[in-house]
Amino acid sequence: MANALLDFLQGASNAAASNVSAPVDGLAWLLRKAGINVGDAPVGGADWMRQRGLTAEPTNKLAGILGESVGGVLPMVAAAKAPQIAQGLLQAERNLAAPATLNKQAGVIIKNPTPFNVSHGSNDLFDEFKKGYGKTAEHIYTVPSSASNDAASYGKNLYTAQASPKKMIDFSDYESLDKQTLLALKKAAKDAGITDKYHTFDEFLQNAMDGQLYQAYGSQRTQNSLLNELFGKFDAVKMPDAGFGGAMSKSVVFENPSLLSILERNGQPLK
Q: What is the pLDDT of residue 236?
A: 96
Among 51, 52, 48, 49, smallest CA distance to 38 is for 48
Which ranges constitute the DSSP H helices of 34-135? 46-51, 61-71, 75-80, 82-97
Q: What is the pLDDT of residue 79?
A: 47
Q: Does residue 103 lie in a domain region? A: no
- For residue 128, pLDDT beyond 80: yes
- For residue 228, pLDDT beyond 80: yes
Domain boundary (77, 97, 117) is at: 97
Clarify whether residues 55 and 125 are in a common domain.
Answer: no
Q: Does residue 102 lie in a domain region? A: no
Clarify whether residues 165 and 44 are in a common domain.
Answer: no
In this prediction, residue 27 has a pLDDT band, given cuts at 50, 70 and 90, of low
Clarify whether residues 185 and 153 are in a common domain.
Answer: yes
Among 57, 58, 45, smallest CA distance to 18 is for 45
Clarify whether residues 75 and 113 are in a common domain.
Answer: no
Clarify whether residues 54 and 138 are in a common domain.
Answer: no
- For residue 230, pLDDT beyond 80: yes
- For residue 74, pLDDT beyond 50: no
Q: Does residue 185 lie in a domain region? A: yes
Can you tell me the distance from the alpha carbon of 119 to that of 251, in angstroms, rounded to the nearest whole number?
A: 10
Q: Give the contacts of 91 (CB within 8 A, at least 6 positions apart).
A: none
pLDDT, tens digit, 9 for 90 and up, residues 166-189: 999 999 988 888 999 999 999 999
Q: What is the pLDDT of residue 9?
A: 47
Clarify whether residues 126 and 244 are in a common domain.
Answer: yes
Q: Give the contacts of 212 (CB within 8 A, at least 6 positions apart).
A: 242
Domain housing 151: 108-269
Q: Taking the alpha carbons of 200, 202, 205, 210 in that order, is the dihedral positive or negative?
A: negative
- Who wins on pLDDT, 111 or 73? 111
Q: What is the pLDDT of residue 10?
A: 46
Mean pLDDT of 4-20: 51
Q: What is the pLDDT of residue 34?
A: 57
Q: What is the pLDDT of residue 259?
A: 95
Q: Are residues 58 and 68 in contact, defined by beta-carbon separation less than 8 angstroms?
A: no
- Who wins on pLDDT, 29 or 10? 29
Q: What is the pLDDT of residue 44?
A: 58
Clarify whether residues 161 and 237 are in a common domain.
Answer: yes
pLDDT, tens digit, 9 for 90 and up, residues 106-126: 568 999 999 999 999 999 899
Q: How many domains does one find in the chain?
A: 2
Domain boundary (97, 126, 145) is at: 97
